[in-house]
Amino acid sequence: MCLSIATAASLLSGAEVVVVTGSYDPVPLEEADRPIRAIDVRNLSLVSNTFADVLKLDSSLDLRQRAPNGIQSDLSIRGAGFGQTLILLDGLRLNDVQSGHHNLDIPAPMEAIQRVEVLKGSGSTLYGSDAVGGVVNLITHAPERTEMRLRTALGNFGVNQQRGVLSYAAKKWAEELTFSRDFSTGFIENRDFRNLSMSSRTSIGSSLGTTAVTLAANDRPFGAEQFYGNFNSWERTRTWFASARQSLGDKTDAAFAFRRHTDLFVLYRDRPEAFTNRHAVESYQANVRRREEFGQNWKLFYGVELYRDNIQSNNLGNHERTRSAPYIALDVRAVKRFSFSVGLRDEIYSSFNHELSPSLTVGYWLAPAVKIRASASRAFRLPSYTDLYYQDPANRGTPDLRPEKAWSYEGGIDWNAGGRVRSAMTIFHRREQDGIDYVRNSPTDIWRAINFQRLQFTGVEGSVAYRPTSAHEIEWQYTGLRGAQDALDGQLSKYVFNYPVHSGVVTWQGAFPRGIIGRTRIGVLQRYQRDTYGLWDIYTASSRGRFRPFLQLSNVTNTSYEEIPRVAMPGRSFVAGFELLVFASR
């Protein structure tokens, strides 16, 4: 299991880190039987700029950006396609049925998120479609004090940022309002962007249980030069999200969420009349979950989930899809000794077609500091509406695509020498069937979506974290990956073979006298049949007092690189500003 720097600090202070991703019930991180990474976003707020900074802390997460600051990014875990990564907000789905390109259109500002939890490997038994390569869960939390914080910053390429947090905390009621505005004129022509987000989180306690209501919205217009081919495109996406969660006593929980996403796409920015697409997606989800306890070590979890998606599009047409999914799981656990979990989910869709997702995980403590773990599970992904129906001068969907299916296997070992030194290693293997990719016969042909029969990925993850003092930590991570397939017959692939063969990350974070904090990251990556490149970022800030200046340097070495082929990324850049703590209760 992987720990963030802030998480390690809380461990040393005696606080227990509890995770909710990858299990049916909250468990201590060291008791998790799957590779889980927990990143405390709140403690990194002054030494991070966007969600991209957080996601790049793990070598197994491949963030394929088309633009800086997360304007449009695709996330891959362990070589899986970007549509095979599930994004959650407080355990509720954010993935877009129009296109996986919109899965990281996160409606809430970074200031609204307390921590990010990442499950690496299959998660369909818990979460259903799309959780093939892994799951990213963005978790909010009721504020613990009343405060108001404002933040502003400027940078090169016309960067202009403003952010704010206003929170109120009482005994049984808490409210937090956040907003974020990020603007840039672009590092090259037609790469300008604006990213505006705002959210509200309300938490109310009563005799019935805790009620949590989240409202969030995001608006991001951006120049999409070369994003989808040799076109000076422009795009604007908007997201609205609303959710309500109610605990019913100690054993039952119910939740409902609504998400609306619109996408206005112009192929030629200077000639919008030539080709313009308008897409609007509405998604509904609801679930009821319950657990039963049998003695001290046995728990049974069961429940049902419902989903309904519809799209209205001048290009894709009008479609809708309804799904339901009952599940059941048994968890047997003796703390610091052993654990065993088995689960089964049956997701039913379109005329009683269905996908079964079984899973089995085990863990065993060889010694107080050493744990071994293993798991086997099945995952799937339903085709997006773009996979099925999209048409433009360069791309064609295929209406009769089959769902992607995959079996995943992994085994690993964790060692924690009292928090000062920690290490972990995992070996994993994924076998996919009916994978979906866009392929073409020659560089002059158009891209067409197809199913190909067999695709395999085998890899290894390793990490070592060392704390020379209580105020500093260094972490080394490496992920190696090999893919194999035998079904494209010489055709060119658009997405599948852009995965990293080698990925290494070295991070340091520390605190100095007078409240000075710093963080740096060096990431080195080699994609399949492409050149190796490295990126170095540096962050520093003052964390004391009401006035807290910060400086963030990205791509310090001014490296030329592309995370998506033929889509250039910016060179050296900086953002400098300050956060003002207007008031705060003790």
DSSP, collapsed to helix, strand or coil, labels residue 225 as strand
What's the pLDDT score for residue 490?
67
Average pLDDT of the segment spanning 312-323: 95
Phi, psi (5° rounding) for residue 186? 100, 145
Concatenate the DSSP letters of all residues of 45-64 into one string.
Answer: GGG--SHHHHHTTSTTEEEE
Among residues 32, 42, 61, which one has the least CA distance to residue 523?
Answer: 61
- Say how far apart CA 450 and CA 399 lie, in whole Å: 10
What's the pLDDT score for residue 483?
87
Per the listing, tokens 């197994």 go with 60
Q: Which residue has the higher pLDDT, 490 or 212?
A: 212
Residue type present at position 100: G
What's the pLDDT score for residue 246?
96
**How many C-beta atoms surround the C-beta of residue 382 within 10 A?**
24
Q: Return the HEC string of 129-196.
A: CCCCCEEEEEECCCCCCCEEEEEEEEECCCEEEEEEEEEEECCCEEEEEEEEEEEECCCCCCCCEEEE
Average pLDDT of the segment spanning 264-291: 95
* pLDDT per residue as tens digits for the range 328-351: 999 999 988 999 999 999 999 877
Residue type present at position 370: V
- Say how far apart CA 552 and CA 332 lie, in whole Å: 46
Share of the chain above pLDDT 90, in %: 77
Helix %, strand %, coil % of the chain (to 5): 10, 60, 30
- Say how far apart CA 129 and CA 314 lie, in whole Å: 26
Share of the chain above pLDDT 70, in %: 96
Domains and CATH numbers, the chain: 2-580 (2.40.170.20)
User: In the predicted model, is pLDDT for residue 13 greater than 50?
Assistant: no
User: In the predicted model, is pLDDT for residue 215 greater than 50?
Assistant: yes
What's the pLDDT score for residue 8?
38
* pLDDT per residue as tens digits for the range 504-556: 999 999 999 989 999 999 999 999 889 999 999 999 999 999 999 999 999 99
* Residue 358: both structure tokens together: 């079984």
Q: Which residue has the higher pLDDT, 1 or 186?
A: 186
Average pLDDT, the chain: 92
Phi, psi (5° rounding) for residue 499? -80, 155
For the question of whether the overall pTM of this predicted structure is more than 0.75, the answer is yes
Q: Is 38:115 a contact under the CB 8 Å cutoff?
A: yes
* Residue 191: both structure tokens together: 């790469």
* pLDDT per residue as tens digits for the range 475-510: 999 999 998 866 566 677 778 888 999 999 999 999
